[in-house]
């Protein structure tokens, strides 16, 4: 008698059900993995493969046959993720065979839109799959190597190469020339099914910025996690981290779109060779919330988060956890080179200022600062800014509060604008000033008023409002 959740697992192009063994081991008995060979791959290599809908039919039949009694989930890696998205749409549309879908796990997923991929590489992959055995072996090795952030274990590596070589070349080509190019944006629309989206910071075309631009907008409830050092074959590369993340979202599914999406034009620039590798890696890392260590007490963190919602409101969907990032910065002990002599060291100043604000809220409203409504919080912050908050024991003095609130505003905007979604929101193209070849950096050819280079199109358009901001 078990109602343990079931995770149906769909592999990447050239992979097979075997890809999921390490994850299944890490998930242990609490979650049963049912890994499925898609048509044309693994043990289904005798079949010719097919389009996304045909692959979804194949999986739906397996799910129906399995008759999961408890909640069930679909995980997809790359190609498999696009099939998972199609299944979720059917489930939400009321397909009785797919009732009970509780969530999606999209790992370096191929998005609903045609997959971004250089045409040259697509042609080369289509060509070598039918080549002589020696070429096939060499190219399969190179294909696996190009899709991982760090070397796999020799066994995993050998099995993965073997899977690529046993794939049905027709299925391989069907995906590259067909499935990957299918446009499912309209059909997928916005899914309500909770989804865990995971991207590898070392991935190529389907890395964090592509997920944020092409996948997140289709998900009303999602969490986006970026795995540093990981490439494209996430179930093979990070089964331990994935198991932990999956357990977390099964226990507490995301209720909202948690991470900010990126405009496609900005994501495309970020992925292009106009952006240097160091910057791309840094921007990708900033799409991930820090793991700590932290130093603020839980109530202080809650007050800080409430403050930041008022100081720098984020329209969403999705939000950068500025409080978490600032808390991590405080714990790191790093700073910007100076502080007001009137204030104690940063971590102490934050802690005491936040307690002062909270005490003022309790004294005047009988509730914590975080529990006040927006106008109530604004009123207290206004008093903090002008040095009119009362003094409390272990707090900071009214005039120190003015200094601290200025520090907070500065740190809030600097933290916010470090994130690519914020740079995109202000229409900034400067990340594209040049890639890795320092002897051939393009910079800007045009610097004058109302001049715009072709590559800046779609990014510079910032919302224009009229009149003074206040």
Partner 1 sequence: MNLAGQRRYGTDEVVDVVVVGTGAGGAPLLAELAASGLKVVALEAGPNFEPAGYGFDETLADEIYWTEERLSGGSTPEAFGANNSGTGIGGSTLHWGAFVPRADPRDFRLRTESGEGCDWPIDHAELVPFYDRVEAFIGTSGPTPYPWDEARRFPLPPVLRNGPAQLMAAACDRLGITATDAPAAVVSRDFTPDAAVPERKACIHCGYCHQGCRTRAKASMDVTYLPLAVAQGAEIRAEARMHGVERDRAGRITGVIYRSGGRDHRQRCANLILCAGAVETPRLLLHLDLATGSGQVGRNYIGHVATQVWGTFADEVAMNRGYPSSLITEDYTRPTNADFAGGYLVQSLGVEPLTWANSVARGRGLWGRALTDYLKQYNRVAGIGINGETLPCDANILTLADETDALGMRKAHISFGYGSNEDRLNVHATKVMREIWEAAGARDIWVLERVAHTLGTCRMGRNPDASVVDSFGRSHEVENLWICDGSVFPSSLAANPALTIMALSLRTAGAFLKGSP
Site for partner 1, rule CB under 8 A: 275-276, 278-279, 282-283, 286, 310-315, 334-342, 345, 378, 381, 385, 406-407, 409-410, 412-414, 416-418, 423, 425-431, 433-434, 438-439, 441-450, 452, 456, 460, 462-465, 467-470
Distance in Å, CB of 298 to partner 1, minimum: 24
Residue 69 or 460 with smaller CB distance to partner 1: 460
**Buried residues in 400-412 as b, exposed as e (16+ CB within 10 A):** bbbbbbebbbebb
User: For the chain, what's the residue count?
Assistant: 470
CB atoms within 10 A of CB 462: 11
d(CA 35, CA 23) in angstroms, rounded, equals: 10
Q: Rounded to the nearest 5°, which phi and psi values hold at 76?
A: -135, 135
> Between the CA atoms of 348, 351, 353 and 357, what dihedral angle is there, to the nearest 10 degrees?
-170
Residue 345 or 390 with smaller CB distance to partner 1: 345
CA distances from 290 to 245, 308, 332, 392 (A): 15, 17, 11, 32
Exposed (0-12), middle (13-18) or buried (19+): which is 145, by Cβ within 10 Å? middle
What sign does the dihedral 326-327-328-330 (CA atoms) show?
positive
Distance in Å, CB of 326 to partner 1, minimum: 13
Residue 154 or 448 with smaller CB distance to partner 1: 448
Q: Going by C-beta distance under 8 Å and a sequence separation of 6 or more, which residues neighbour residue 467?
A: none
d(CA 76, CA 35) in angstroms, rounded, equals: 10
Closest by Cα among 229, 267, 289 to 415: 289
d(CA 295, CA 348) in angstroms, rounded, equals: 10
Closest by Cα among 68, 82, 93 to 175: 82
Exposed (0-12), middle (13-18) or buried (19+): which is 434, by Cβ within 10 Å? middle
Cis amide leading into 317 (omega within 30) = yes
> Are 37 and 44 spatial neighbours (Cβ–Cβ below 8 Å)?
yes
Coil, helix or strand at residue 73: strand
Residue 363 or 436 with smaller CB distance to partner 1: 436
Residue 189 or 290 with smaller CB distance to partner 1: 290
Residue 39 or 260 with smaller CB distance to partner 1: 260
CA distances from 370 to 100, 244, 377, 452 (A): 36, 30, 8, 44
Distance in Å, CB of 55 to partner 1, minimum: 41
Token pair belonging to 205: 């075309």
Residue 65 or 440 with smaller CB distance to partner 1: 440
Q: Going by C-beta distance under 8 Å and a sequence separation of 6 or more, which residues neighbour residue 251?
A: none
CA distances from 323 to 33, 297, 332, 382, 400 (A): 36, 12, 14, 20, 21
Distance in Å, CB of 451 to partner 1, minimum: 8
Residue 189 or 434 with smaller CB distance to partner 1: 434
Coil, helix or strand at residue 49: coil
């Amino acid at each position: 008698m078990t109602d343990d959740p079931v995770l149906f697992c769909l592999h990447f192009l050239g992979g097979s059900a075997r890809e999921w063994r390490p994850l299944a081991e890490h998930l242990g008995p609490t979650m049963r993995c049912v890994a499925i060979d898609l048509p044309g791959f693994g043990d289904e290599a005798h079949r010719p493969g097919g389009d996304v809908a045909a692959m979804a039919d194949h999986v739906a039949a397996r799910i129906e046959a399995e008759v999961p009694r408890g909640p069930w989930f679909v995980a997809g890696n790359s190609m498999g993720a696009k099939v998972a998205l199609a299944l979720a749409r059917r489930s939400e549309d009321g397909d009785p065979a797919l009732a009970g879908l509780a969530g999606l796990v999209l790992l370096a997923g191929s998005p609903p839109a045609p997959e971004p991929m250089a045409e040259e590489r697509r042609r080369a992959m289509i060509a070598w799959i039918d080549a002589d055995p020696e070429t096939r072996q060499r190219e399969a090795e190179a294909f696996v190597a190009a899709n991982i952030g760090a070397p796999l274990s020799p066994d995993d590596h050998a099995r993965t190469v073997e899977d690529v070589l046993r794939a049905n070349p027709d299925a391989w080509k069907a995906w590259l020339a067909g499935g990957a190019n299918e446009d499912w944006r309209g059909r997928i629309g916005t899914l309500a099914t909770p989804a865990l989206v995971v991207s590898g910071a070392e991935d190529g075309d389907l890395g964090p910025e592509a997920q944020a631009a092409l996948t997140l907008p289709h998900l009303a409830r999602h969490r986006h996690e970026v795995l540093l050092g990981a490439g494209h074959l996430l179930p093979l590369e990070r089964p331990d981290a994935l198991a932990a993340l999956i357990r977390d979202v099964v226990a507490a599914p995301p209720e909202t779109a948690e991470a900010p999406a990126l405009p496609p034009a900005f994501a495309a620039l970020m992925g292009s060779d106009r952006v240097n590798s160091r910057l791309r890696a840094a921007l990708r890392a900033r799409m991930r919330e820090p793991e700590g260590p932290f130093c603020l007490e839980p109530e202080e963190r809650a007050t800080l988060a409430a403050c930041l919602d008022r100081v720098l409101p984020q329209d969403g969907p999705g939000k950068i956890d500025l409080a978490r990032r600032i808390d991590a910065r405080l714990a790191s002990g790093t700073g910007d080179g100076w502080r007001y002599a009137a204030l104690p060291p940063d971590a102490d100043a934050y802690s005491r200022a936040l307690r002062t604000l909270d005490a003022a809220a309790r004294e005047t409203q009988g509730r914590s600062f975080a529990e006040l409504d927006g106008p109530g919080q604004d009123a207290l912050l206004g008093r903090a800014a002008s040095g009119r908050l009362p003094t409390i024991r272990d707090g900071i003095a009214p005039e120190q509060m003015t200094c601290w609130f200025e520090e907070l505003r500065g740190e809030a905007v600097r933290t916010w604008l470090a994130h690519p979604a914020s740079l995109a929101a202000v229409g900034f193209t400067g990340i594209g000033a040049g890639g890795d070849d320092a002897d051939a950096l393009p910079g800007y050819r045009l610097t004058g008023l109302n001049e715009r280079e072709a590559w800046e199109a779609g990014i510079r358009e910032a919302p224009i409002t009229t009149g003074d901001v206040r």
